[in-house]
Structure 1
Amino acid sequence: MAKDWDIDLNADLGEGCGDDEAILACVSSANIACGGHAGDADSMRTAVRAALKLGVKIGAHPSFEDRQNFGRSEMQLPAEIVYAQVYAQIRALQAICAEQGAECVHVKPHGALYNQAARDLALARVVVSAIRDAGAHLCVVGLAGSALITAAREAGMPFAQEAFADRRYNPDGSLMSRQLAAAVITDNAEALAQAKQMVAHHSVTAQDGSRLTLEVDTLCLHGDGAHALALARQLRAWLDAG
């Protein structure tokens, strides 16, 4: 049966807080924590092996070096520090991939780095520069319509515009802060309905009820949620059914 869309489903994994291998069986791409907010050589190796076994595309998931706050605290760092941190984390995962006979094909920033680079073009350009220097073939994964996508386009880098099944949106297209109780959608039926709207209708309904247009290449679900595995299976079944 022909599908009406061809969309990637990704999850942030290797963070030590989820049923990684079961979720990997549902997704087509994995963003693997590479030391900034979580992860080490052993966890990266485990995640890469699992992804290889299941034929899942492998990507780096770098962040500000802030393990204490899981990379979710905003930082104002010199450009050269951000560049060095992002570049080093990507290279760390690439080294594990080379060891295991795998390839790192994309990079998706994590947490505060992701959100700041979504709205700050100068920071986004630094992040994209580090990604490009780690490999000009690497696909930049960023929030749909964000500054990170603009920076990737400027640099001639491949990119994928991302939307979130389980996160609520502000009217400007940014994600609601996790400091707000309503930021994460915990009801799987609601998350699935939002994903369907994003993919089938290229839009999302913001928290204030306004409707935003979205171009979506990849859908993210968070592997650390209490109902993450059930949602992953529901999304996979729906996407496969087309």
Structure 2
Amino acid sequence: MDRTTKIDFNCDLGEGLNNEHLLMPYISSCNIACGGHAGSPQIIDKVISLALSHNVKIGVHPSYPDKENFGRVVLEMTDLELQGSLKNQLQLFKERAAMQDATIHHVKPHGALYNLIAVDEEKATLVSKVVQQVFEDVKLYVPFNSKIEKVAKDFGIEIVYEAFADRNYNDDLTLVSRSEPNATITDKEKVVAHVKRMFHESKVKTVQDNEREMKADTFCLHGDNEKAIEILKNLHREFLSY
């Protein structure tokens, strides 16, 4: 990202919280659930329409087909089963977007799948193949220094480095498990400090109190963060001139 331009904030949307209309004015890209962990054709249509009206870049947010666990558990599936599910999710979204003549900007896997492809080259390859099967030209949101970053580049898929504004990191740049009490950052000023360090210094302070290199072109704020609206408004004020 050109550091002279506005900082890019994204949110995971269409996940059943019905807060998209509150979040949309403060973000510049979004990731819309497509039926795996959440979402339906009707919700997809609604969120795409909102994104178009706010000039927000539209992304697909596929996951393990697991609404019970909100896509946050690695399922025991064969590669063929996972490939089929992801392809169906992406195809559904592609069809709904076409109905509104909406451009799909990117794909960002969700939850357990996102974390898995960061460290598992085989699953990263599977996801990259599915993306290329469904889309001719989309970007892929990926964590810095991950397996999916390297695999996607080999596939010729344009990557966008993503970091999390409201999540803490370990020394190996994995996200702190949601089972830990310090996984999520809910204090708006701590979120600002977290983002500023990554944006200006390309570094992140880990929960082990070390600094690690971190590249980020877009910063995610989870829509289900209990302070999401308050945090986003504060980020918007802090970075308005960027």
RMSD: 1.4
The aligned residue for residue 50 of structure 2 is 50
1:145 paired with 2:145, answer yes
Change (3 A) 1:153 1:3: closer
Alignment of 1:11-50 (within 5 A): 11-17=11-17, 19-50=19-50
Residue 105 of structure 1: aligned partner: 105
Q: Give me the whole-angstrom Cα distance separating, in 2, the residues matched to 1:53 and 1:4.
A: 25
Partner of 2:224: 224
1:110 alignment partner AA: H
Query: Which SS does the other structure have where 1:133 is aligned?
Result: helix
Q: Deviations over 1:107-160 (max 9, x none)?
A: 000000000111101101100111111113111111122111111111110111
Alignment correspondent of 1:118: 118
Tell me the number of residue pairs that the alignment of Structure 1 and Structure 2 aligns: 241
How far apart in 2 are the matches of 1:196 and 1:18? 29
**How many percent identity over aligned positions?**
34
After TM superposition, the score normalised by the length of structure 2 is 0.96
Taking the aligned partners of 1:116 and 1:183, their CA distance within structure 2 comes to 17
**What TM-score do you get using the length of structure 1 for normalisation?**
0.96
Secondary structure of the structure 1 residue equivalent to 2:193? helix
In structure 2, stretches of 5+ residues that fail to align are none
Q: Partners of 1:42 and 1:36 in 2: how far apart?
A: 14
Distance 1:241 1:230, change over 3 A: same
SS of equivalent residue, structure 1 residue 176: coil
The CA deviation at 1:18 is 5.1
Q: Write the distance in 2 (CA, Å) between the matches of 1:123 and 1:196.
A: 32
2:173 equivalent in structure 1 = 173
Q: Secondary structure at the match of 2:174?
A: coil
Q: Partners of 1:32 and 1:99 in 2: how far apart? A: 16
- Deviations, residues 166-211 of structure 1 (Å, cap 9, x unaligned): 0000110010111111100111111111011110110100100110
Contact 1:24–1:56 (CA under 8 A) maintained in structure 2:
yes
Query: Partners in 2 of 1:180 and 1:18 — Cα distance?
Result: 27
The answer as to whether partners of 1:108 and 1:142 remain within 8 angstroms in 2 is: yes
Q: Is the 8 A contact 1:24 1:54 kept in 2?
A: yes
Does residue 129 (structure 1) correspond to residue 129 (structure 2)? The answer is yes
Query: 1:203–1:211: 8 Å Cα contact kept in structure 2?
Result: yes
Q: How far apart are 1:238 and its partner, in Å?
A: 2.4
Counterpart Cα distance in 2 of 1:75 and 1:83: 13
In the TM superposition, what are the counterparts of 1:148-159 in structure 2 within 5 Å? 148-159=148-159
- List alignment gaps of at least 5 residues for structure 1: none
1:108, 1:34 → 2: CA distance?
11
CA distance 1:205–1:106, change in 2 (3 Å): same
Partner of 2:201: 201
Structure 1 Cα separation of the partners of residues 22 and 142 of structure 2: 25
> Deviation at 1:6?
4.5
* Counterpart Cα distance in 1 of 2:72 and 2:228: 20
